[in-house]
Structure 1
Amino acid sequence: MTDAPLAADALDPFASGFADVAAEFADETGGPPTLGEFLEVLGWSVPTNSDAVDGTFTEPLRLTATVKGKRYRPEGASRVAELNDHVFEDARSLNATLTERIASAGSPSTPQQYASAILRIIRTGRIAFADVDGTEVRRLVAERAKRNTRLSPGDILAIPVEPSGHRLAVVITRNRFGTAIGLFEGVSPDGRPSADVLKAPRRFPVYTEESQVKNGTWQVVGHDEGLLGRFPADPEVYHKPGAYPGVDTGEHGAAETADGPLRMIDAEEAEAVGLAAGRYRQTYPAVFLQKVLSGERD
């Protein structure tokens, strides 16, 4: 069964509750959410650890809408990263109640049952969107989790760290050195790419490989090519003085791009990157990088 067992008498309170979430969004950003932004908030607010859900929910849960017979694609940049936590907390509380209501029919809610219930709520027309009328939304599908994801520049990764939370990174490029990612300071409690974390990029990108993405440990939680401007487009790797016989790597070391010549660096840059102190590492296996990030303290 794919239709959510949501009785007609439950629609009004849920519609009112989710309309309030949209109103909170408008209060914070200066305007109502687009349908895409609203679905993004819901996707980050599903109660994945609840007994009311069947264990196949991903976070974020990606919801794809059909409006007037065409697949919905939002225009413009998402403002979801600008929101404070209370918007997500209110949405999470409503989602928990909604999935419990669905599960009361006899079995835990599936992602598609949840999506079908949200569709019925949206189609009441009670939720104000910036770009569509809720009554025009014809279909809502919960996308299945993807494996063996091929990363693209601008993909945002959530890397789990101990004891809890996630470090965030953006994919910069893929070249002969590996997959270059730019890391951000701070920890996201749930992996959500919030503005508070994304505002603090680290100076030096690192290279890694994609095994932890392919096995699902590292999740792609967003895409924002605007973040790429905070990092070099072709990240360099560094070499200490005398690293290779017959190759001049300078007094303090040298930097190399994937397709360019060596660039001699000064003492200040060698100190900043950790080359002078012997703590620089140019590439990391993904599992090891995750352990390194877990050992850091902000």
Structure 2
Amino acid sequence: MMGELVLSAEDLDMVVQGLVDVCEEFGAACAGPPTLAELLEILGWAVPDDGDYVDGSFASPLPLSATLRGGQRYRSEQPSRVGELNDHVFVDAQDLNIAVLQRICEITGAPATPQQFAGVMLAALRSGRVRPADTCGSDIGALTAPRARYARKTTPGDLFAIPVGPGAYRIAVVLIRNQFGTAVGLFEGRSADGQASTGILGSPRPHPVYTDESLIKNGTWIFAGHNTDVLAAFPADPEIYHAPHVWEEIDIDTGEFGAAETADGRMRMIDSSEARDIGLTDNSYRQCVTAEHLQDLLSAE
């Protein structure tokens, strides 16, 4: 039987301190604390969507929405700086989230739901010790997290049709899921019916993209089959790239032109040609792009 979710003072202190630590790391990187929107964005990106302690309905990333007391929906007026952060902030946020989800599971005797997770975070935000730049915790009336509508767990080789216009789709294949996100391989050409034809699958793009699964979970990206043969056209362990000299203050060398890193932390220096091809030279490269933004980019091609 599922028990009631009642946090002890010790449990709440753990969550509050974790959020304070995430805010302090953000402040060190961005010269100031996060807005509430930025903090919720970080937490959403850092939620694991599978594991024995979650119920299978967590979107990736988890869209957390705040409502202020009085019923007004919270919106930030500032552009997000989350894309500028290094991995350390997300790793610490993920450690916190996993601890929270496991504790919910222990207390209730059942896997955690998105709304239970949101409820714990709301309690911590209302403590007064977590101080976003633009909101007082006591002003937050509610925090919501919708359940994902697509519960199927993706596996390497899953193909998806991404709508890019009337009667037009781009095909993507899931390569791997790790702490960077979900890596997908893309193919040249458009499909008129959303089918992954032999011709399209024979034209892979060289660089995978890390993204989230939100548009898979809500059904926008349409499942188009499963084909593990095409995985050989892409790196088995897709890398993310770092700009040159970006981590000098913590004595991590990212080279003259930049560096590539695998999920297990292996780093290799890249040359000017690779930096130009990937988009480091003109600053167009992003380590991870939201599914919505990726779809917009593909639609504009």
Q: TM-score, normalised by structure 2?
A: 0.55
**Structure 1 counterpart of 2:116, from 113, 118, 123:** 113
Q: Tell me how far 1:287 sits from its aligned partner.
A: 4.3
- CA distance in structure 1 between the aligned counterparts of 2:96 and 2:81, rounded to whole angstroms: 21
- CA distance in structure 1 between the aligned counterparts of 2:4 and 2:76, rounded to whole angstroms: 25
Q: Post-superposition, which runs of at least 4 consecutive aligned residues in structure 1 deviate over 6 A? A: 288-291
1:97: which partner in 2?
99
Amino acid aligned to 2:24: A
1:174 aligns with 2:175: no
2:20: which partner in 1?
19
Residues 71/83 of structure 1: CA separation in 2 closer, same or farther (3 Å cut): same
Question: Which has more radius of gyration?
Answer: 1
Amino acid aligned to 1:81: G
1:65 aligns with 2:55: no
Structure 1, unmatched stretches of 5+, are 148-158, 213-217, 223-284
Q: Secondary structure at the match of 2:130?
A: coil
Q: Deviations over 1:84-104 (max 9, x none)?
A: 111111111111211222222
2:57/2:149 contact within 8 Å kept: no
2:23/2:39 contact within 8 Å kept: yes
- CA distance in structure 2 between the aligned counterparts of 1:290 and 1:138, rounded to whole angstroms: 47
Q: Secondary structure at the match of 2:169?
A: strand
**Structure 2 counterpart of 1:207, from 190, 196, 199:** 190
Structure 2, unmatched stretches of 5+, are 197-211, 217-222, 239-301
Q: Deviations over 1:241-296 (max 9, x none)?
A: xxxxxxxxxxxxxxxxxxxxxxxxxxxxxxxxxxxxxxxxxxxx954899646622
Q: Tell me how far 1:116 sits from its aligned partner.
A: 0.5
**Structure 2 counterpart of 1:84, from 86, 92, 95:** 86
Q: Secondary structure at the match of 2:109?
A: coil
Q: TM-score, normalised by structure 1?
A: 0.56
Amino acid aligned to 1:20: D
Size of the aligned set, in residue pairs, is 208
2:68/2:139 contact within 8 Å kept: yes
**Structure 1 counterpart of 2:213, from 211, 219, 222:** 219
Residues 294/38 of structure 1: CA separation in 2 closer, same or farther (3 Å cut): farther
Q: Secondary structure at the match of 1:125?
A: coil
Q: Deviations over 1:208-263 (max 9, x none)?
A: 46689xxxxx83469xxxxxxxxxxxxxxxxxxxxxxxxxxxxxxxxxxxxxxxxx
Amino acid aligned to 2:50: N
Q: Secondary structure at the match of 2:19?
A: helix
- CA distance in structure 1 between the aligned counterparts of 2:155 and 2:180, rounded to whole angstroms: 8
Moved more, 32-41 or 44-53: 44-53
Cα RMSD after superposing both structures: 4.1
2:33: which partner in 1?
32
1:11/1:121 contact within 8 Å kept: yes
- CA distance in structure 1 between the aligned counterparts of 2:127 and 2:228, rounded to whole angstroms: 45
Q: Tell me how far 1:47 sits from its aligned partner.
A: 3.3
Residues 189/211 of structure 1: CA separation in 2 closer, same or farther (3 Å cut): farther
Q: Secondary structure at the match of 1:66?
A: strand
- CA distance in structure 2 between the aligned counterparts of 1:294 and 1:5, rounded to whole angstroms: 49
Q: Tell me how far 1:83 sits from its aligned partner.
A: 1.6
Q: Tell me how far 1:174 sits from its aligned partner.
A: 0.7
**Structure 2 counterpart of 1:144, from 147, 159, 180:** 147
1:5: which partner in 2?
6
Q: Write the mapping of 1:283-298 to structure 2, written as runs, cut at 5 A.
A: 286-287=224-225, 292=230, 295-297=233-235
Q: Tell me how far 1:190 sits from its aligned partner.
A: 4.6
1:45/1:95 contact within 8 Å kept: yes
2:12/2:124 contact within 8 Å kept: yes
Q: Secondary structure at the match of 2:190?
A: strand
Amino acid aligned to 2:34: P
